[in-house]
Amino acid sequence: MEATAAKPPLHGLTFSRATVANRAFAAIYTCAVLALLYQHALTVLNSTTFLSFSLFLTFLFADLLLGFMWATGQCFRMQLVHCHVFPENLLKVTREEDFPAMDVFICTADPDKEPPMSVVNTALSVMAYDYPAEKLSVYVSDDGGSALTLFAFVEAAKFGSHWLPFCRRNKVVERCPEAYFRSYRSNETKKIKVMYESMKERVENVVYSEKFTDDYITNEQERQAFNKWTQGFTRQEHPTVIQVLLEIGKDRDVTGQSMPNLIYVSRQKSKTSPHHFKAGAQNALLRVSAVLTNAPIILTLDCDMYSNDPQTPYSMLCYLFDTTMTPELGYVQFPQRFCGLNKNDIYACELRRVYLINSAGLNGLAGPNHVGTGCFFSRRVFFGGPSSFVSPEIPELRPDHVVKMPIQAQSILAMAHQVADCKYEDQTNWGSKMGFRYGSLVEDFYTGYRLQCEGWRSVFCHPNRPAFLGNAPITLNDALNQIKRCSVGLLEVGISKYSPLTFGVRAMGPIMGHCYANYAFWPIWSIPLTMYAFLPQLALVNGLSIFLKIELLTNRLGIAKNGFNLTSKVLDGEQSKRYDQGTFEFEVESPMFVPLSTAAIVNLISFFGGLVGVFRGGDFDGLFVQIFVAGFVVVNCWPIYEAMVLRTDKGRMPTKTILISTFLAWALYSAASHIDPTPRPLEDTHPSHMTQPSQATQPSQAPHLPQSTDSTQPPSNETEFNQKVLAEIPESLQTTEVRDKIFHKVFGEDGHGYCKTYGAGVPRSAVYGQSSYLSHASSFSTLNEITRQVREATQEIEQRLSIEIEQWLSSEIE
């Protein structure tokens, strides 16, 4: 007891007070959402024409999806905690000698898209970690199978022997050379900078010319490695290349201290074997590293995610090295942070919600999902759940296997080659029960999800100084492609047999399961978004109102105020200026831009069309929400209009895209304008009646009655009844109370079974058909007769109302 009290803490946790507020908010908002959906459902049931029925059903569906996304999104907010680490205490409770060994995996796949110099920078930034070098191994996986990348690393190994002691001596915090030289310049740095620049020049010369001459090769070992790039060597078809560039204990820096291991791995590739992309590469690294070093801790990094803080392993150890921590702790995830985003992050690539907000929310539950990079794993998690070990095929791959031979030993290297073989995984558990999981394009999400389903927990570590910094796409086309790949990958998980909604909820409980479902079904946002981008606007040209009317004037003013505030915010000078910079890139002829620009055109036309309609005396109340939605989209589409018409630079939209989307917008409009909107559903949610009092008082004008209607027969269904009879009651009297009065007058108190299901004051007799109708009110045997009676009752009530108003007015005057 005393001993534990004496030890300073490595990490702390506080529960957030926001949790209570979040839960209360979620409860109240849920009621509002349910009420809205109920109202929607009534509207669907009450619709009187096929057109309105389909339209309202569509919106019910859209809002159900939005409701689902909203509800699952709340799960992230149900138990917020704030976590802190105290890395400064680490050396008070343990010694550096006792630190566990660590294997770092860096993946790269294409020397053209991922410049070798940037991969080298990432590697150098972690090689220079404040961590005992003899416990650190950096593995570079090159799926591009590129001699250029290997060459860059040969150079990096040499430069590293100067860079690592330089960082130690000067207590450099920015240990990614490129980032360091960008921000620091002094006499002290001159020498090392010259070294860096000359390395960079050599590498880039080779990369640009795509070949290197013999004088770049300095020793026999290098020659042997490069000799593997024979005639038939291609990216998709080549043998394994494993090159140990630096070896602990053998290679020393310029001050005589040991360098960490640096190992280049390009796994074997064959067109006949699936390679499973990054997950496949990481599994190959898991095995190769197991054979060579088998460190209990693994850090995974994308090639563009460099370390921004040499102390990060200390923060990680505060969790993974703390014996009081739950034994189920499987990984410590740091958020993805980015450098070089422009001020407004115009392609929304920072993903703060995913990487920061939601991860912090998950931290109070079973822990954050894995985001592919910046994650420290316990090697054990890749071999089954905490209490269900899945044994690998050979003992050398077991997480508890101790490597006893130097990494360059013949037998060790031979086995490393063997486990990097493209056929090695055939008939094994790799990718299904072991290692990174296959089956989704977002292998990181899927792997983390499956690990948590197995019972592993995780921790989100988010120090003030970003632990890692990466690059985000800088063109719209790249950003959209990333979203597309991500969407496909997420849906692959969503609809798989491991769907979070079924499997996940069972394995992790409802809250965690629904958090994962929120991600896995994230792409379905596109469905309501598309509907809201087109349908209200197309309905607007026809003057067809499709949203709930806001009954109370005060409410309406409130909403109107908020709404217009929002709009004007985006339209202000500063924001317009941002778009004026023209940083959006539309120059690629991508079909992905077509829906965007079509939506932009449709919304623009609808917005102005709607406004013109209203100024000409249209129904502002009814169409307000649609005009607002269209206006909102228009504001958001501003960069698109610019790219279509205003800009002359290279980033403007190609004429072809403009033509196609204009044509599509036109086609949609002409299709929509052929739909006659006049037959309107009658519930008081459909205010378009207000503008047509004449129609309402003249039943004979009720348009588009079904052909079969015979006014000399009793009404046989609800539609008929609605269209003919309810139309007699003017909009101003369409409240439940007044309608009740009218029907009581006509059908009598008991003869009129007020049919709640239809909610529109439909007498049950009218719905149930002739026989029950006749038994209740035999004198109203025809539709015409009922219509006449309702008209009379309505007129009577109107008269009484006007008398009462007159009396009230005169008493007021007195």
- Count of H helices and E strands in the chain? 31, 14
Calpha distance 545→52 (Å, rounded): 10
Q: Are 358 and 46 in contact (CB under 8 A)?
A: no
Q: Was 278 annotated as part of a binding site? A: yes
Which residues sit at the interface with ligand UPG, rule CB under 6 A?
Answer: 107-109, 114, 141, 143, 277-278, 281, 302-303, 336, 372-373, 442, 444, 482
Task: Match 């007498």 to its residue by tokens.
Answer: 763
User: Shortest Cβ contact with ligand UPG: which residue?
Assistant: 372
**Amino acid letter, 242:** I
DSSP sequence for 471-527: ----SHHHHHHHHHHHHHHHHHHHTSTT-IIIIIHHHH-HHHHHHHHHHHTGGGGHH
Instruction: Decide if 214 is catalytic.
Output: no
Q: Spell out where 182-327 has E strands.
A: 241-246, 261-266, 297-302, 306-307
User: What is the closest distance, in whole angstroms, from the C-beta atom of residue 451 to Mn ion in the complex?
Assistant: 22
Whole-angstrom distance, CA of residue 441 vs CA of residue 113: 19
Distance in angstroms (rounded) separating the CA atoms of residues 122 and 308: 10
CB of 302 to ligand UPG, least distance (A): 4
- Say which of 63, 103, 142, 143 is annotated catalytic: 143
* Residues 593, 653 contacting (CB under 8 angstroms): yes
In the complex with ligand UPG, the residue whose CB is nearer, 373 or 458, is 373
Q: Which is nearer to ligand UPG, 444 or 718 (CB)?
A: 444
Residues that bind Mn ion (CB under 5 A): 302
Q: Which does 603 bind (CB under 5 to 8 A by kind): Mn ion, ligand UPG, none?
A: none
* Amino acid at site 163: W
Tokens of 422: 């493209």
Compare residues 108 and 243 and give the one whose CB is closer to ligand UPG.
Answer: 108
How far from 243 is each of 164, 233, 268, 315, 369, CA to CA, in Å? 21, 16, 13, 31, 33
- Complete DSSP assignment for 656-696: HHHHHHHHHHHHHHHHHHTS---S---STT-GGGGG-HHHH
745 is in an annotated binding site: no
For residue 143, the partner it binds in Mn ion, ligand UPG, none, with Cβ less than 5 to 8 A by kind, is: ligand UPG
Between 170 and 482, name the residue whose CB sits nearer to ligand UPG.
482
In this complex, which beta carbon is closest to Mn ion, that of residue 83 or of residue 351? 351
User: Is residue 115 within 8 Å of residue 152, measured between CB atoms?
Assistant: no
In the block, which residue shows the tokens 């800088």? 474
C-beta closer to Mn ion: residue 303 or 672:
303
Cβ at position 303, least distance to ligand UPG in Å: 4
Give the residue with the Cβ less far from ligand UPG, 109 or 259. 109
Kindly state the smallest distance separating residue 153's Cβ from Mn ion, in Å: 20
Judge whether 444 counts as a catalytic residue. yes
Does the annotation place 143 within a ligand binding site? yes
Nearest distance, CB of residue 418 and ligand UPG, angstroms: 21
Q: Is 253 annotated in some ligand binding site?
A: no
Please pick, among 444, 619, 621, 684, the residue that the annotation labels catalytic: 444
The CA distances from residue 620 to 541, 545, 590, 727, in Å, are 13, 10, 38, 21
Q: Which does residue 762 touch among Mn ion, ligand UPG, none (CB within 5 to 8 A, set by kind)?
A: none
Contact 144, 235 (CB under 8 A): yes
Q: Which two tokens stand for residue 94?
A: 């343990």
Nearer Cβ to ligand UPG, position 140 or 604?
140
Q: Is 176 left (phi over 0), alpha (psi -120 to 50) or beta?
A: beta
Q: Output the CA torsion 343→346→348→353 (10° steps).
A: 40
Query: Distances in Å between the alpha carbon of 132 and those of 99, 126, 164, 411?
Result: 8, 12, 12, 27
Q: Any idea of the CA torsion for 806, 811, 813, 814, to the nearest 10 degrees?
A: 140
Binding residue ranges for Mn(2+) = 278, 302
Binding residue ranges = 113-114, 143, 278, 302
Binding residue ranges for UDP-alpha-D-glucose = 113-114, 143
Catalytically annotated residues = 143, 444
